[in-house]
Amino acid sequence: MSYPELDREESIKYKTEEQVGIIEAVAPDFAGDNGDYNFTAEQVAAYQLDPVLSAKVVRAYDIRILPIAMIMYLFSALDRGNVSNAKSDHMDRDLGFVGNQWNIMLTVFFIPYCCMAYPGTFMSKKFGPYTMLPIYMFGWGTMAMINAAVKNFAQCLVVRLLLGCFEGCFGASLIMYLACFYTRAELGKRMAAWYSMVAVSGAFSGLLSYGLFQVNSSLKGWQLLFLIEGALTICVALLSWWILPVYATHAKFLNPVEKTAGVMRLLKDSTTQVNADFSWKEYIRPAAEWETWVWGLYCLIYGVANATAAVFLTQIIGRWHFSVVKTNLYTVAPYCCAVIVMWILVISSDYHRERTIHVMVANGLVVIGCILLACLPVSSIGPGYFATFLITSGSFIPSVLFQSFVQNNTTRENSRAFRSSVMNFGSNAGGIVSANIFLSQFAPKYVTPLIISAAIAALGIALLIGLRTYMVLDNRRRNREQGVNWTSKDVPTAALKDGPANPMYRHFY
């Protein structure tokens, strides 16, 4: 007996004649016009989603989409953060950098990395992320390989500028793409899976650098690092071109019944339309909503700690004057610990359907780690090294949970594209701040940069407290006015379309 037959037989027993008619109107292979699955609100409400079928669809996504998304983001993080390892092998000295030219080079990378989130999500929505994501990846992989051939500061500046353009298009588009497959309750763990690759990339790059920097070659160790990581990136880009599916509605690995279930899952607990046509008016609509800019400000705040851990950890560990090889090796453990802590908090967050408190815990780890490292003398290696674990463990978590938090509260597909670009602009702009406070004049202890980083993370906690308080009070007001006790999971699908403008809407916090 097929899944739709089970659905209909069980549901018909308990439905009115009118509701039965609605259910029968949803054919198991219904695809609307051109496969767009244009279900009505009544059809969505009446559809009985079989949990076994839903789980089967999620497993298919986890097998076919999630692994390649994780690998793609791994190489994004590798090619973005490997300059930290390259500097430990004296890339700056080999290219004749003077003064703060290293920080200028980092800043030049982060400017397009921030700004390209907007055109990146625009193009991804216009032409499809399944098409544009591999193109972005091929572009930055090529730039990473060219980075191995630069001879001076000017050439390096141009290459890092172009690399930032391609990388900037990628991150927000990937988030938008995953939100087209997974529900709000599922998105956190999946985002953790691919974003944990940032921490994994730090460990992987540290190990790779540890090996390559000991190779006897006519090329410098940092040149080998760029060549190998760039070449692997291009290979993965070509592979992803063939693997990434065109949304659930056109996924070749799903049968017609599973495609319908894949769409209905989202319509019941994530979005109001699947595979929506691009609408400029809908895309730009969140610009008029204050929440968009408050969320963007918080992303700027957590982006500072994120960049500190991703770009400057090698320099921070360099305060203890280990050899180049050992310095890179000692970056591995903090990144591995960050992955474990991330998964613990993300699983807890999804289980409790809660985001803001978990993110505040992550901010707290950064505050404690930065203050501890700033106060300890350089000679105190053990406690200082422990502080780097705290900083890295807290730095990467907001990128997962806060981005998921924003997606959970944005139910229009085109609006998600704009908000994703705002979030990415903010988080990437944190790299500009970090690049201009971790100056060589503060080495090796970096007291001033660490205190500034701690203060910024503390500001993030204050902002989250205010945002959570507003959402809690607004939900209570809506419940009081309607005489109900709803949470976000109780909101009818039809109420999601207008967001907070609909009295039935509830914030997910």
pLDDT of 357 higher than 80: yes
Give the C-alpha separation, 159 to 143, whole Å: 6
Amino acid at 484: V
pLDDT in the model for residue 159: 95
- Class of residue 215 by CB neighbours under 10 A (exposed 0-12, middle 13-18, buried 19+): exposed
pLDDT of 497 higher than 80: no
Cα-based distances in Å from 100 to 276, 324, 438:
47, 21, 10
Average pLDDT over residues 440-463: 92
Average pLDDT over residues 389-413: 82
pLDDT of 400 higher than 70: yes
pLDDT of 366 higher than 70: yes
pLDDT of 372 higher than 80: yes
Q: Which are the contacts of 382, defined by CB distance < 8 A and separation ≥ 6?
A: none
pLDDT in the model for residue 34: 46
Cα-based distances in Å from 226 to 159, 211, 220:
12, 14, 10
> 0.85 cut: is pTM over it?
no
| Mean confidence (pLDDT) of the chain | 82
The two tokens of residue 406 are 């924003």
pLDDT in the model for residue 174: 85
Closest CA to 264 of 181, 179, 366: 181
pLDDT in the model for residue 274: 46
The two tokens of residue 350 are 């999804």
Instruction: Based on DSSP, count helices (H) and strands (E) in the chain, helices before strands.
Output: 24, 0
Residues 76/185, Cβ–Cβ less than 8 Å: no
Any idea which of 33-47, 73-87, 293-307 has the lowest mean pLDDT? 33-47
pLDDT in the model for residue 306: 86
- Tell me how far apart the terminal alpha carbons of the chain are, to the nearest angstrom: 41
pLDDT bucket at 411, cuts 50 / 70 / 90: low
pLDDT of 481 higher than 50: yes
pLDDT in the model for residue 461: 96
Closest CA to 179 of 411, 500, 374, 391: 411
Question: HSE of 112 in the Cβ direction (CA atoms, 13 Å)?
Answer: 18
- The helix/strand/coil state of 214 is coil
pLDDT of 17 higher than 50: no
pLDDT of 4 higher than 50: no
Q: What distance lies between CA 346 and its chain's CA centroid?
A: 13
Cα-based distances in Å from 430 to 197, 378, 457:
19, 26, 11
Q: Where are the domains of the chain?
A: 64-253+285-501
Q: Which are the contacts of 292, defined by CB distance < 8 A and separation ≥ 6?
A: 286, 418, 419, 422
pLDDT in the model for residue 19: 37
Give the C-alpha separation, 509 to 500, whole Å: 13
Give the C-alpha separation, 167 to 151, whole Å: 23
Residues 24/144, Cβ–Cβ less than 8 Å: no
Average pLDDT over residues 424-447: 86
Any idea which of 185-189, 242-246, 316-320, 399-403 has the lowest mean pLDDT? 185-189
pLDDT bucket at 460, cuts 50 / 70 / 90: very high
Give the C-alpha separation, 498 to 148, whole Å: 50
| 263-300 pLDDT, tens digit each | 888 776 654 444 455 567 777 777 888 888 998 999 99
Any idea which of 100-109, 172-181, 385-394, 402-411 has the lowest mean pLDDT? 402-411
312: DSSP letter: S
Fold of 64-253+285-501: Growth Hormone; Chain: A; (1.20.1250)
Centre a 10 Å sphere on the Cβ of residue 253 and count the other Cβ atoms it contains: 12
Centre a 10 Å sphere on the Cβ of residue 258 and count the other Cβ atoms it contains: 19
